[in-house]
Every structure is written in structure tokens, then in C-alpha cells.
């Protein structure tokens, strides 16, 4: 993945160990936040930004980073990753160590991963399992969303405990992957209503899984067994339909909805339309969808084609541009990666049947530079919008702001300085002008002049509190306004005859 030198050492005391290394002065650059750019120095101590401005007075023994000619931005937040996820009979290949190391190398200083609880299991058990996996491995800060694969009293109780005691504020429903994650509409309504009550954000993987399954069976029966079958079996209409359905169900529950991995432009437009109707909802395109297209499924090299298999699949080449424009206008809100990598021998589980190819692609290391290259260098986004799309908006939606997503006094010292430049990588061959020169994670200099110096276990779990104001402040008013029209009509009771159904037989 990254060829920079890696220095590994377990920091037993964790994040809070301080040394002069942790006192940093970033000098001479331009600070970019989502709402403006300012020439300023940034002083960091104890993992926190202590001063932002010019002519700062700082103690001696401070490491000075010369940021002349550089932009100083909030570290990236990737709100959608799957590290070491048990999935399709195997585990995604990046664990919380290699995955967060890659994140930091690319300027992402926080990931939000998904507790992947299979149907029938306890959400709490899987939450604990993920915490145990991640806590000892993460090189950067992380948070967790929780997948809800079923509905019932136990699920409702566990969701409440997760929100009230465990730092969880978002739950994801799947409309695909039957018998593993797929929820029926009424189950999804229950989850959305529970989210609304708890002050959580509902997330959805929007694809009509049942129709896709039938289509895939037919394709295999017709002799299409290669990775192209994955794409043929999951037409855009199935994503558009599911997105529209999820939006309607969320609106019914008055629950904020965050649609992950928006791969279809029309699905994006469904989200945009709902936003224009006033619905509190968000769409997340991913790096793969913004930079790649479905021509890869036609590649004659099986490995290449299978390497691009993810769900929903990559779409036709015109899609990227439309997704980009919606990101620029704010119709789509955040960018993730859905980083979920499988090695060649894992992808090969589906060598004779595309339905068994583990779904997932890379991106956690690439997102920031790919977005800079395809978004900023092309004039689609300005640097402030880049910061919003890669960091600030995710911090706001998931209630991490302004601890994360901002360069300001009191914010976590998660910082990336941007200079221009960047096994199987779907972005391979792309020339990128933007790459992280220095990356600071929790006040630690983890990329130093492009040298990677991460510490296993140095990251922290960051609890995400319920009722994010950015999401809920408007939602509560809207809910009241909506229900104001729903009143029973006062009228005289009907007192005429009623037919006897039994007599009708």
C-alpha cells in the first residue's frame, strides 16, 4: 500500500503520553476550514490545538514544521470503512492496524467503522468484539456505527444501551444480503423509529436485494459467471428504487437518514429531491464512485474485474461527473470510501460464480488525494468545500464537531498539510497532485515529510453523542410542523345500515 517507512511501537500508555514531540508549531501556511481560509500558524500541545494566529508565543523545545506554501486542513474523517469485517465467508484483509495506518498515510485521521453483527447475534456482543479488536490496534481515532440485522425487543434494548452508554449514534440497515443483513420494510421502520427516539442517525445500504438475487440466479443459469455478472445483476434501478423507499420510510418515522455509498446519480437525485422537500437526509458518494466506472467489469483480466466488485457496483462513466456536481452543490454531503479490501485469493472464492466474490474495494488511503485531484484540481470544489466534504460535514452529522473537522483552538490536533503530488489499487495509475506532507493525529506527528511513523494502539475510541444538533435541531421543528395537519375531523357518526358480511357469502 504505502512504500513510506513505517515505525511500529506499542505505546502502552496510549494517547496521552506527552513529550516535546507533541508540541508542534506549524508555521507559515494557510489554514483552511469549511468556512474560510486564513494565513495563520497553528500551535499544538497535548493532542489539542492551543493557538491559531500570527506572532504566536510558544514555549521552547517545540518542533517547528515549515508549512510555507502549504495548506493546513482538518484531518480527513472517513465515515465508512470495514476493517477485518467478517463477510461472505472470509474477513476483509485490512485490520484496524493496517487499515488505520493506511488512513493516516493518506491524511485521514479518523475512521468510522461498522460493527457487523450477523442476524441472530447480539449487537452488544459484537460491539464489544469490535472494541477489543480495534482498541489495541488503531493508529488513529475511530468511532463505530452499528449494523442492525433484525428487529425485536432485544434489539430495541441493545440499541438504547449502545446510544446511552457506549458512544453510538448511528445504526445501519441493509436492504440487500438476504439471511445475513437484509431487513424488511416494516423492520426498517421499527429501526428508524427507534433511532428517532434515541436521537440517532439511521443509515441505509439501498439496493433491492431480493430482485437482485433473482436476477443473479438467472444470469448464472444463462452462463454468465464472471464479474460482469455482478454488475448486470445489480442495475441502477434497484438502487434508485431502494433509495426512494428508504427515504419514504425514514420520512414516515421522522428519522434522519444517511444513505451510504451513493453509486447512482439518480439515487443521488432522489436524496436531493427529498432534501428540497425538507427531509433531513444525507448522501455519501465514495471515492470509488467518484473516480472509477463500470468499464472495469468488462476487463478480460479476471483479477482486475473482480477487484472492482463492490455493492452497489460502479456505474457508467457519466455517473462520476453527476455525483461530483451534487457534492459541489451540497445535494450530497459527505464522502467515504467503504474501504473493505480482499486479496486476490479471497476474491477468487468467486472465480466460477460472481455471487461468491467478496464485495469491497480500497480507498481509505486514497480518498483525500483522489478527491483533491478529481475535485479541486478540476475546479469542481474549492479547498473549503474539499474540507467540508472530507471532514467537517461528517463531523457535524455524527456529532463530532468541533472536536473534529475544524482547525480551531480546543479542537483535536488532527491536521493534514497538503502539498501537491500522491498490491491492487483501483486508483492505480492516477496521477495525483495532492498528498499529505505532514499528518498530525491526536497531536502526534505520524507523517513527517512523507515518512510514516505510526503507533499501534495510539488511537482512541471517540464516543459520538446522541442528538447531533446539525441533524436534530431542524428535525424536531419539522416533525412538529408535519404532525400539525394530522388531526381527526369532527363529524356526526354514521348511523345508517351496515351490510352483514356473513349474509353476503
Check residue 310 for interaction with ligand URP (CB under 6 A).
yes
Q: Which span sits near Zn ion by CB under 5 A: 304-312, 326-334, 399-407, 492-500?
A: 304-312
| Residues binding ligand URP: number (CB under 6 A) | 9
**Rounded to the nearest whole angstrom, what is the least distance from the CB of residue 482 to ligand URP in the complex?**
31
Nearest Cα neighbor of 85 from 464, 336, 358, 458 is 358
Work out what residue 301 binds among Zn ion, ligand URP, none; the CB cut-off runs from 5 to 8 Å by kind.
Zn ion
Distance of CA 439 to the CA centre of its chain: 20
Q: Which of residues 158-217 bind ligand URP (CB under 6 A)?
A: 205
Cα–Cα dist 42/29, whole Å: 9
Please say which residue, 30 or 82, places its beta carbon nearer to ligand URP: 82
Work out what residue 310 binds among Zn ion, ligand URP, none; the CB cut-off runs from 5 to 8 Å by kind.
ligand URP
Work out what residue 212 binds among Zn ion, ligand URP, none; the CB cut-off runs from 5 to 8 Å by kind.
none
Q: Which of 13, 68, 221, 301 binds Zn ion (CB under 5 A)?
A: 301
**Rounded to the nearest whole angstrom, what is the least distance from the CB of residue 358 to Zn ion in the complex?**
12
Check residue 145 for interaction with ligand URP (CB under 6 A).
no
Nearest Cα neighbor of 83 from 338, 313, 262 is 338
Q: Which of residues 326-345 bind ligand URP (CB under 6 A)?
A: 338, 340
The β-bridge partners of 452 are 447
Q: Which span sits near Zn ion by CB under 5 A: 95-103, 148-156, 185-193, 299-307?
A: 299-307
Q: Which of residues 259-288 bind ligand URP (CB under 6 A)?
A: 261
**What is the pairing mode between strands 415-420 and 71-74?**
antiparallel
Check residue 82 for interaction with ligand URP (CB under 6 A).
yes
Q: Which of 76, 107, 360, 442 binds ligand URP (CB under 6 A)?
A: 360
Work out what residue 394 binds among Zn ion, ligand URP, none; the CB cut-off runs from 5 to 8 Å by kind.
none
Check residue 444 for interaction with ligand URP (CB under 6 A).
no
**Strands, sheet with 108-115, edge to edge from the N-terminal-most edge strand:** 76-81, 108-115, 141-147, 170-174, 201-205, 257-259, 281-283
Check residue 234 for interaction with Zn ion (CB under 5 A).
no
Q: Which of 30, 166, 205, 374 binds Zn ion (CB under 5 A)?
A: 205
Alpha-carbon distances, residue 355 vs 41, 89, 301, 425 (angstroms): 53, 12, 18, 22
Please say which residue, 23 or 205, places its beta carbon nearer to Zn ion: 205
Residue 157 CB coordination number (10 Å)? 13
Give the angle 134-138-144 at the CA atoms, nearest 5°. Answer: 50
Helix (H, G, I), strand (E, B) or coil at 420: strand
Q: Which of 311, 346, 393, 411 binds ligand URP (CB under 6 A)?
A: 311
Alpha-carbon distances, residue 218 vs 177, 224, 379 (angstroms): 17, 9, 44
Cα–Cα dist 429/386, whole Å: 22
Check residue 338 for interaction with Zn ion (CB under 5 A).
yes
**Rounded to the nearest whole angstrom, what is the least distance from the CB of residue 82 to ligand URP in the complex?**
5
Helix (H, G, I), strand (E, B) or coil at 68: coil
**Rounded to the nearest whole angstrom, what is the least distance from the CB of residue 425 to Zn ion in the complex?**
11
* Residues composing the chain: 505
Alpha-carbon distances, residue 174 vs 27, 183, 236, 311, 414 (angstroms): 46, 6, 17, 11, 32
Alpha-carbon distances, residue 477 vs 169, 182, 275, 276, 339 (angstroms): 20, 32, 15, 16, 36
Check residue 115 for interaction with ligand URP (CB under 6 A).
no
**Rounded to the nearest whole angstrom, what is the least distance from the CB of residue 97 to ligand URP in the complex?**
19
Cα–Cα dist 502/217, whole Å: 46
| Residues binding Zn ion: number (CB under 5 A) | 4
Check residue 57 for interaction with Zn ion (CB under 5 A).
no
Q: Which span sits near Zn ion by CB under 5 A: 141-149, 180-188, 202-210, 397-405?
A: 202-210
SS3 of 291-355: HCCHHHHHCCCHHHHHHCCCCCCCCCCHHHHHHHHHHHHCCCCCCECCECCCCHHHHHHHCCCHH
Where along the sequence are the contacts to ligand URP (CB under 6 A)? 82, 205, 261, 310-311, 338, 340, 359-360
Where along the sequence are the contacts to Zn ion (CB under 5 A)? 205, 301, 304, 338
Amino acid at each position: 500500500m504505502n512504500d513510506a517507512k513505517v515505525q511500529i511501537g506499542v505505546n502502552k500508555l496510549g494517547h496521552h503520553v506527552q513529550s516535546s514531540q507533541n508540541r508542534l508549531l506549524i508555521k507559515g501556511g494557510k489554514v483552511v476550514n469549511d468556512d474560510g481560509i486564513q494565513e495563520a500558524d497553528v500551535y499544538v500541545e497535548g493532542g489539542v490545538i492551543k493557538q491559531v494566529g500570527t506572532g504566536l508565543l510558544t514555549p521552547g523545545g517545540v518542533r517547528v514544521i515549515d508549512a510555507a506554501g502549504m495548506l493546513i486542513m482538518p484531518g480527513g474523517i472517513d465515515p465508512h470503512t470495514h476493517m477485518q469485517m467478517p463477510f461472505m465467508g472470509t474477513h476483509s484483509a485490512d485490520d484496524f492496524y493496517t487499515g488505520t495506518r493506511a488512513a493516516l498515510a493518506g491524511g485521514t485521521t479518523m475512521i468510522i467503522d461498522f460493527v457487523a453483527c450477523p442476524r441472530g447475534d447480539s449487537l452488544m456482543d459484537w460491539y464489544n468484539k469490535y472494541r477489543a479488536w480495534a482498541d489495541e490496534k488503531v493508529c488513529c481515532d475511530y468511532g463505530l456505527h452499528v449494523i442492525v440485522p433484525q428487529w425485536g425487543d432485544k434489539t430495541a434494548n441493545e440499541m438504547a444501551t449502545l446510544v446511552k452508554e457506549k458512544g453510538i449514534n448511528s445504526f445501519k440497515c441493509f436492504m440487500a444480503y438476504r439471511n445475513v443483513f437484509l431487513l424488511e420494510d416494516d423492520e426498517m421502520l421499527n429501526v428508524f423509529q427507534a433511532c428517532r427516539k434515541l436521537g440517532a442517525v439511521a443509515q441505509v445500504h439501498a439496493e433491492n436485494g431480493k430482485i437482485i438475487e433473482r436476477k443473479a440466479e438467472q444470469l448464472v443459469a444463462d452462463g454468465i459467471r464472471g464479474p460482469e455478472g455482478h454488475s448486470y445483476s445489480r442495475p441502477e434501478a434497484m438502487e434508485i428504487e431502494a433509495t426512494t423507499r428508504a427515504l419514504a420510510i425514514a420520512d414516515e418515522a421522522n428519522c434522519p437518514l444517511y444513505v451510504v455509498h451513493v453509486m447512482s446519480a439518480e439515487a443521488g437525485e432522489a436524496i436531493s429531491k427529498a432534501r428540497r422537500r425538507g427531509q433531513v437526509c444525507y448522501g455519501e458518494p465514495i471515492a470509488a464512485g467518484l473516480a472509477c466506472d463500470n468499464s472495469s467489469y468488462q476487463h478480460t483480466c479476471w483479477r482486475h474485474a473482480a477487484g472492482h466488485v463492490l455493492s452497489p457496483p460502479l456505474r457508467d462513466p457519466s455517473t462520476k461527473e453527476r455525483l461530483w456536481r451534487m457534492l459541489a452543490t451540497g445535494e450530497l454531503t459527505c464522502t467515504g470510501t467503504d474501504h473493505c479490501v480482499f486479496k486476490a485469493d479471497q476474491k477468487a472464492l468467486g472465480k466460477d460464480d460472481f455471487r461468491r466474490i467478496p464485495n469491497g474495494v480500497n480507498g481509505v488511503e486514497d480518498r483525500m488525494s483522489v478527491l483533491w485531484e478529481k475535485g479541486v484540481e478540476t475546479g469542481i470544489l474549492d479547498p473549503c468545500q474539499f474540507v467540508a466534504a472530507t471532514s467537517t460535514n461528517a463531523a457535524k452529522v455524527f456529532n463530532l464537531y468541533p472536536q473534529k473537522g475544524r482547525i480551531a483552538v480546543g479542537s483535536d490536533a488532527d491536521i493534514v498539510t497538503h502539498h501537491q503530488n500522491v498490491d491492487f489499487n483501483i486508483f492505480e495509475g492516477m496521477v495525483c497532485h495532492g498528498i499529505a506532507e505532514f499528518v498530525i493525529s491526536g497531536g502526534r506527528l505520524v507523517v513527517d515529510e512523507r515518512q510514516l511513523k505510526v503507533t499501534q494502539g495510539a488511537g482512541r475510541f471517540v464516543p459520538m453523542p446522541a442528538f447531533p444538533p446539525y441533524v436534530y435541531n431542524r428535525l424536531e421543528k419539522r416533525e412538529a410542523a408535519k404532525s400539525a395537519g394530522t388531526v381527526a375531523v369532527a363529524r356526526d357518526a354514521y348511523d345508517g345500515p351496515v351490510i352483514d358480511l356473513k349474509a353476503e357469502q
